[in-house]
Amino acid sequence: MQYLENIPLSTLTTMRLGGLARYVVKITATEDLKQAIQFAEERGLPWFVLGGGSNVVALGDYRGLIILNRITAFKKLREDSDTATYQIGAGEVWDSVVERLVQAGLSGVEAMSGIPGFAGSTPIQNVGAYGQEIADTLVELSAFDSSSQRLVTLSPDDCAFTYRNSIFKNPETRHHVIVSITLRLSKIPMQPPFYPSLQQYLTDHQLTDYSPAQIRAAVPAIRAERLPDLNYLASAGSFFKNPIVQASVAYELLRRFPDMPHWEAPGQQFKLAAGWLIDQAGLRSYSAHGLQIYPHNALVVTNISAQSGEDLLLFKSEVVAVVREMFGITLEQEPETLPS
């Protein structure tokens, strides 16, 4: 393995911000991973595993080792009349995984087409889109437990999935590096009712074919209207989480804003639409510090000309303050911040 030194973090993350990483190494096997962690620990350095960098923002330098997980595998483990189960390496490009599963006629991840990054990143924040999320299909995953220095198998319950969260994202429980994920896919296509924007697209285009291939064709078209092309415009995708609030808070807001989008959530709570809140606060296309609220989707923050993490922090604080002033809700950042 080759340990590269002083690599710009802007080249490793899609928001294209950050200073220098002291070391960067690419791994392609579990043994590589063990050696990389040992390399960092022998030098008293922190380490951080990075996939495609599409859900991580870097604000400054990173004084430790960035491990680029590129462990590949794509293997059918079993199949019956209704399902098929596949083991997928953490370093497989996620959209390519979706493409191959859809080509096999399998349903369960087709609505997550077009999501950037690698397969091993999907359980970290329980990635989801248009009515599907990784927790729905995950059977188990294999991970290297850095606290015990051994490979372990974790069930979905072990992962403690919640909305855009898991044990892999919580700093207090984060000591696993995902090596592979095992997904069980269905041979039965998705059925309505669909996620609203997906349903609207199908209705507008008079589509009644709900096959995985058709859904996979529809989703990128929807995403193209609402999300920037990362090849041309720097972004970390959805920057703000949809807030989950107590029912009493939602009812009070609905009294003031009857048209506010809202969905029931577990525990007598409601999920609200962060993008709607930002729009209603008058921040559509808001631009400052070299960053902008994406005109086609207020959840997305794009980097137009920002040069530092401080620019992003200032921009974020301004958006959060305006929304809090109007609605009494504090928006939370969805992408993880790389520790300094």
Q: Which of 50, 43, 39 is nearest to 1 (CA)?
A: 39
Structure tokens of 72?
């590949």
Q: How many CA atoms lie within 13 A of 57 on its CB side?
A: 26
Catalytic residue of the set 92, 133, 140, 334: 334
CA distance 64 to 49: 11
Q: Are 144 and 151 in contact (CB under 8 A)?
A: yes
**Number of DSSP helices (H) and strands (E) in the chain, helices first:** 8, 20
* Contact in structure between 277 and 291 (CB atoms under 8 Å): no
Q: Is 238 a catalytic residue?
A: yes
* CB-count burial class (<10 Å; 0-12, 13-18, 19+) for 143: buried
Annotated active-site residue in 121, 166, 180, 238: 238
Q: Is the peptide bond before 261 cis (omega within 30 degrees of 0)?
A: no
| Angle, alpha carbons 156-66-122 (nearest 5°) | 25
In the block, tokens 């009812």 appear at: 251
140 catalytic? Reply is no
The token pair that represents 339 in the structure block: 């520790």
Q: Give the active site residue among 70, 164, 184, 223.
A: 164
Q: How many residues does the chain have?
A: 340
Residue by residue, what is the 3-state secondary structure of 88-102? Answer: EECCCEHHHHHHHHH
Residue 31 known to be catalytic: no
Give the residue from 17, 13, 6, 12 showing the smallest Cα distance to 63: 6
- Nearest alpha-carbon partner for 331 in 263, 287, 283, 285: 283
Residue with tokens 């372990």: 152
The strand pairing partners of 23, in sequence order, are 5, 65
Let me know: does 191 contact 107? Beta carbons within 8 Å: no
Residues marked active site are found at 164, 238, 334
